[in-house]
Amino acid sequence: MREPAGGPRVLLKRLRELTAEPLEPQARLDRIVREIAGNMVAEVCSLYVLRADHVLELFATQGLNPSAVHRAQLRLGEGLVGTIAASARPLNLSDAQGHPAFQYLPETGEEIYHSFLGVPVLRAGRTLGVLVVQNRTMRSYLDEELEALETVAMLIAEMIATGDLARLNRPGVELDLKRPQTFAGVAFNDGVGLGHVVLHEPRVVVTNLLAEDTEAELKRLSEAVGTLRLSIDDMLSRREVAFEGEHRAVLEAYRMFANDAGWVRRLEEAARNGLSAEAAVEKVQSDMRARMMHVTDPYLRERMSDFDDLANRLLRQLMGRGPEQIAADLPRDAIVVARAMGAAELLDYPRERLRGLVLEDGAATSHVVIVARAMGIPVAGQVRGAVSMAENGDAAIVDGEDGRVHLRPQPDVEAAYAEKVRFRARRQAMYRELRDRPSVSKDGVAIDLMMNAGLAVDLPQLDESGAGGIGLFRTELQFMVAATFPRAEAQERLYREVLDAARGRSVTFRTLDIGGDKVLPYFSTETTEENPALGWRAIRLTLDRPALLRTQVRALLKAAGGRELRVMLPMVTEIGEIAQAREMIDREVRHLSRFGYELPMSLKIGAMLEVPALMWQLDELMKAVDFVSVGSNDLFQFVMAVDRGNTLVADRFDPLSTPFLRVLKQIADAGKRNGTPVTLCGELAGKPISAMALFGVGFRSVSMSAASIGPVKAMLAQLDIAELGQLCAERMANPAMGSARDVLIAHAAEHGIAL
């Protein structure tokens, strides 16, 4: 066995020259394997590429039988090559044939070679192929040789990823990188989006793989690591509230990793082997991702993600890629793919270019999802593996109806979705036509159709949807997307903006409804609650922390100077709570008036009906307030004792069942009896079938997400409310307590009502 001739740096230089030569792809590949074999003093060098059908195909060889090229094949997991690809780990064997996985391929003539070194061809932790060298003698390859082969494999990964080898496929056979994939995620926001992948926190695509001057690259690397460490120390030393708790723990982990001697050593080794500083970061990261691919421990996976973030930071540092550049490169139909994302980060993307959002983590209640919903972007969450399987620019479809994500979809899938999008667009066009028509039933009953909102991004939808006003403005959203408590001025500014956008239409501001599932990262309570939905939340919390409520009320009063102000209290349980809140509001009114502020033209105070206890104080409640709004999301969960966020039980009972319809009817009747306006602002109002039931039991005002106004208005136009009221009354008198859903569906079908 001779010493390697020239080492990896010389080899990389040769390969770079080869990639620049005007050669046909196959000829280039043949030359590359010959160069590698020569440089590494191996008798054989072969490249296997992973196809979409999970077969590894021999694409080029020096030393094996040339006629085996594009004929020799192994399935993923089969033989030594298949084992390397499946495990994403190298194999270094002095006697390959003694390995249990060895499989003899007669067409290659490889039986005379004993020692074997194979490495996965990796890109962003994905295996794209396998690169192998073999020798006749039984020898063990040195660590440096393994490192050299891995470095060369990176260059080949780049060739595969840039599509250089795709032309070598037989027709109908796709490389794995282009394999269509479907992920089953969870639907977080309705809608269908077709577009092209934009990786949030993009894996920076390294284009200058090879170093001109190794010493210079080592210096760049060391400087970048130094700056990275300083920036993390800097973040940690800022004593902002936002960096306490979990945020701080993540930063501490970053600091630990950034100072990890092993990580830095591996980076330097890769650069010493001839890679540019950027490519060195990518190589070390890709190796690590591949090794960690099968780890399921959530803690370790989380740490892995931290490492990923850190490597990305380092790459961006080295390449000088800031957010401006990323925005400039954004396609017109972006499907943003992220591991996780803060709500504010989503707002950095221009809305008109966003077609969908894919999250590896997330929950329907996570802040970013709330914002995406407000922006009307389809969202699929818990889409595991999406980030490493997607490349910037890949075609993608997000199905927000069922949570599926199609990556690089087949033409028939794309065609089916294009049809679905057209169908939805036609429906939207129909709703737009209805926008300026009054919302009245077929028999002339006028119904207020209002929309729910919570952020400034919702406001354009007020005009677009044709809503009569904002029936529920969730003020807590501003608090949830912020890093610290929004200051009084910021609150006032938002409320003023909302009232300006409403141009005289009614707006109901709900006071802070935090607690329960609505957590503020910067506001932690001392005790963890066992049942947060039944705990210290909404008005209970704000009455206990009067400074919070006072600041908010003052901001509302100032913003509404000269206009009508409607304030609604969430999660009221006792009438006394309303009196307490009213007292505080009155005090603020007196305070502002003393200082000469213009006061609201009129002030209306209402309560949400979410807690069943109010059902036995209905007349007192109606007298204590100017209006009542049923929060059916919470009311239903408390009446039925089902956690609204628990998928095991959330859909177990039907809100259209007789008991719950009776609850709703009693509320509507009490409103009429006392002359107090009653509305409903939970999700129930947004589905045409349940909106129909609400009108049937006596509701004449409802508030829902902006996207639901069109469908509900269309249904209403075909509905005879008197006839429906009759049907509901008969149904509720019926001792069979089942759901009225079927009866309502049949009624709709019979009368040509679109649900």
Closest separation between CB of residue 571 and ligand PEP, Å?
Answer: 8
Taking the C-alpha atoms of residue 398 and residue 191, their distance in angstroms, rounded to an integer, is: 8
Taking the C-alpha atoms of residue 605 and residue 582, their distance in angstroms, rounded to an integer, is: 8
> At CB < 8 A and 24+ separation, what contacts does 644-650 make?
644/533, 645/363, 645/364, 645/365, 645/517
Q: Contact letters (x/-) for ligand PEP, 509-548, by CB under 6 A?
A: ----x-----------------------------------
Does position 702 interact with ligand PEP (CB under 6 A)? The reply is no
Closest separation between CB of residue 631 and Mg ion, Å?
Answer: 4
**Which residue in the set 682, 686, 696, 698 belongs to the binding site for ligand PEP (CB under 6 A)?**
682
Closest separation between CB of residue 610 and Mg ion, Å?
Answer: 5
The window from 111-119, 181-189, 624-632, 673-681 that contacts Mg ion (CB under 5 A) reads 624-632
Q: Which is nearer to ligand PEP, 472 or 581 (CB)?
A: 472
Instruction: Name which of Mg ion, ligand PEP, none residue 682 binds, using a CB cut-off of 5 to 8 Å depending on partner kind.
Output: ligand PEP
Does position 739 interact with ligand PEP (CB under 6 A)? The reply is no
Q: What is the DSSP string of 92-148?
A: EES-GGGSTT----GGGTGGG--EEEEEEEEETTEEEEEEEEEESS-----HHHHHH
Q: Which is nearer to ligand PEP, 318 or 635 (CB)?
A: 635
DSSP state of 515: B
Does position 634 interact with ligand PEP (CB under 6 A)? The reply is yes
Does position 474 interact with ligand PEP (CB under 6 A)? The reply is yes
Give, for 199, the enclosing helix (H) or strand (E).
Answer: strand 192-199
The window from 10-18, 366-374, 491-499, 628-636 that contacts ligand PEP (CB under 6 A) reads 628-636
Closest separation between CB of residue 664 and ligand PEP, Å?
Answer: 12
Q: Contact letters (x/-) for Mg ion, 322-361, by CB under 5 A?
A: ----------------------------------------
Give, for 46, the enclosing helix (H) or strand (E).
Answer: strand 44-50
Phi, then psi, of 533 in degrees rounded to 5: -65, -25
* Tokens representing residue 669 in the block: 């009747």
Q: Is 751 a catalytic residue?
A: no
Does position 464 interact with ligand PEP (CB under 6 A)? The reply is no
Q: Which is nearer to ligand PEP, 512 or 721 (CB)?
A: 512
Alpha helix segments (H runs only) across 560-657: 575-594, 618-624, 632-640
**Which residue in the set 392, 428, 633, 674 belongs to the binding site for ligand PEP (CB under 6 A)?**
633
Q: Which is nearer to Mg ion, 152 or 635 (CB)?
A: 635
The window from 186-194, 252-260, 597-605, 627-635 that contacts ligand PEP (CB under 6 A) reads 627-635
Closest separation between CB of residue 476 and ligand PEP, Å?
Answer: 8
Q: What is the DSSP string of 376-404?
A: T--EEE--TTHHHH--TT-EEEEETTT-E
The window from 75-83, 203-211, 625-633, 706-714 that contacts ligand PEP (CB under 6 A) reads 625-633
Q: Please, are residues 304 and 285 in contact by the beta-carbon 8 Å criterion?
A: no
Q: Which is nearer to ligand PEP, 129 or 515 (CB)?
A: 515
Q: Which is nearer to ligand PEP, 465 or 475 (CB)?
A: 475
Does position 454 interact with Mg ion (CB under 5 A)? The reply is no
Alpha helix segments (H runs only) across 259-342: 261-272, 277-292, 298-319, 323-328
Q: Which is nearer to ligand PEP, 409 or 631 (CB)?
A: 631
Q: Is 294 a catalytic residue?
A: no
Closest separation between CB of residue 638 and ligand PEP, Å?
Answer: 9
Q: Which is nearer to Mg ion, 658 or 701 (CB)?
A: 701
Candidate list 196, 681, 728, 747, residue with the active-site label? 681
Q: Which residues pair with 357 in a beta bridge?
A: 336, 379
- Taking alpha carbons only, the member of 395, 382, 487, 445 closest to residue 692 is 445
Does position 634 interact with Mg ion (CB under 5 A)? The reply is yes
Give, for 661, the enclosing helix (H) or strand (E).
Answer: helix 658-674
Closest separation between CB of residue 637 and Mg ion, Å?
Answer: 9
Show Cβ contacts of residue 726 under 8 Å, excluding neighbours closer than 6 positions. none
Does position 115 interact with ligand PEP (CB under 6 A)? The reply is no
Show Cβ contacts of residue 260 under 8 Å, excluding neighbours closer than 6 positions. none
Please tell me the number of Cα atoms within 13 Å of 507 on its side-chain side.
27
**Residue 703, SS3 per DSSP:** strand
* Tokens representing residue 599 in the block: 């006061």
Instruction: Name which of Mg ion, ligand PEP, none residue 474 binds, using a CB cut-off of 5 to 8 Å depending on partner kind.
Output: ligand PEP
Give, for 701, the enclosing helix (H) or strand (E).
Answer: strand 701-704
Give, for 453, the enclosing helix (H) or strand (E).
Answer: strand 448-453
The window from 61-69, 356-364, 546-554, 632-640 that contacts ligand PEP (CB under 6 A) reads 632-640
Candidate list 114, 200, 367, 747, residue with the active-site label? 367
Determine the size of the site formed for ligand PEP (CB under 6 A): 10
Closest separation between CB of residue 404 and ligand PEP, Å?
Answer: 26
Does position 610 interact with ligand PEP (CB under 6 A)? The reply is yes
- Sheet with 404-407, side-by-side order of all strands: 181-184, 404-407, 395-399, 192-199, 334-338, 354-359, 379-381, 186-189
Closest separation between CB of residue 337 and ligand PEP, Å?
Answer: 28
Closest separation between CB of residue 512 and Mg ion, Å?
Answer: 12
Does position 631 interact with Mg ion (CB under 5 A)? The reply is yes
Taking the C-alpha atoms of residue 91 and residue 84, their distance in angstroms, rounded to an integer, is: 7
Paired sense of beta strands 602-609 and 627-630, if any: parallel
Does position 731 interact with ligand PEP (CB under 6 A)? The reply is no
Instruction: Name which of ligand PEP, Mg ion, none residue 193 binds, using a CB cut-off of 5 to 8 Å depending on partner kind.
Output: none
* Tokens representing residue 364 in the block: 């329907």
Does position 458 interact with ligand PEP (CB under 6 A)? The reply is no
The window from 476-484, 500-508, 526-534, 625-633 that contacts Mg ion (CB under 5 A) reads 625-633
Alpha-carbon torsion (721, 725, 727, 728), positive or negative: positive
Three-state DSSP string of 460-472 = HHHHHHCCCEEEE
Does position 632 interact with ligand PEP (CB under 6 A)? The reply is yes
Question: What residues are annotated to the active site?
Answer: 367, 681
Residue ranges binding ligand PEP (CB under 6 A): 472, 474, 513, 610, 631-634, 681-682
Residue ranges binding Mg ion (CB under 5 A): 631, 634
